[in-house]
Structure 1
Amino acid sequence: MRYEHIIQGTFISRPNRFIAHAAIRRNEGAEEEIVVCHVKNTGRCRELLLPGAAVILQFHPEAAASGRKTEYSLIGVWKEQHSEFMLINMDSQAPNQVAAEWLHSMEQAPTLPVSGFDGKKLPSSLTLADIRREVTYGQSRFDLAFHLVFGSSASASQEQRKPAFMEVKGVTLEENGIAMFPDAPTERGIKHILELAEAVKAGYEAYILFVIQMKGIREFTPNKKTHPQFGDALRQAHESGVHVLAYDCMVTVDSLAIDQPVPVFPATF
Structure 2
Amino acid sequence: MLIDVLKDLYPAKILRRINRFVVEVETERGAEKAHNTNTGRLKDLLIKGRKAFLQKIRCKNKKSCLSYRIIAVEDLYEYAIIDTITQNKIFEKIVETDTLDYLRGFKIIRRNPRIDTSVFDYLLKKENKSIIIETKSAVFRGSNGEAMYPDAPTERGRRHFKELTNLKREGIETGIIFIAAFKSPTCFRIYEEIDPQLKDLFIEALRNNVMIKAFSIYMNSGGEIFLENPDLPLCSSMLR
In structure 2, list runs of 5 or more residues that go unmatched. none
Q: How does 1:90-129 map to 2 (within 5 A)?
A: 90-106=82-98, 111-112=101-102, 127-129=105-107
2:150 aligned with 1:182: yes
Q: Which has the higher contact order (CA 8 A, sep 6+)?
A: 2
- Equivalent residue for 1:147, pick from 113, 125, 130: 125
Aligned residue type for 2:18: P
For the residues of structure 2 that align with 1:11 and 1:129, how far apart are their CA atoms? 37
Q: Are residues 162 and 64 of structure 1, via their aligned partners in 2, closer, same or farther at CA, if it must alter by over 3 Å?
A: closer
Residue 139 of structure 2 corresponds to 172
In structure 2, relative to structure 1, the CA distance for the partners of 1:87 and 1:130 (3 Å cut) is: closer
TM-score normalized with structure 2 length: 0.87
Q: Secondary structure at the match of 1:93?
A: helix
Q: Does 1:50 align with 2:82?
A: no
1:267 is aligned to 2:234: no
1:87 — aligned with what?
79
Q: Which amino acid aligns with 2:118?
A: S
CA distance in 1, matches of 2:96, 2:63: 33
Return 87-96 or 237-246, whichever deviates more: 87-96
Specify the SS of the correspondent of 2:192: coil
- Count of matched residue pairs: 232
For residues 190-214 of structure 1, the C-alpha deviation after alignment (integer angstroms, 9 at most, x for no partner) is 1111111122122222211001112
Does 2:130 correspond to 1:163? yes
Aligned partners of 2:71 and 2:86 also within 8 Å? no
For the pair shown, the structure with the greater C-alpha radius of gyration is: 1
Asked if structure 1 preserves the Cα contact closer than 8 Å seen for 2:20 and 2:39, the reply is yes
**Which position in structure 1 is the counterpart of 2:74?**
78
Classify 1:103/1:64 alpha carbon distance in 2 versus 1 (closer, same or farther; 3 Å): closer
Secondary structure of the corresponding residue to residue 207 of structure 2 = helix
Structure 1 unaligned runs (5+)?
27-32, 114-125, 150-160
Q: Does 1:228 align with 2:231?
A: no
1:122 is matched with which residue? none
Q: Percent identity?
A: 25
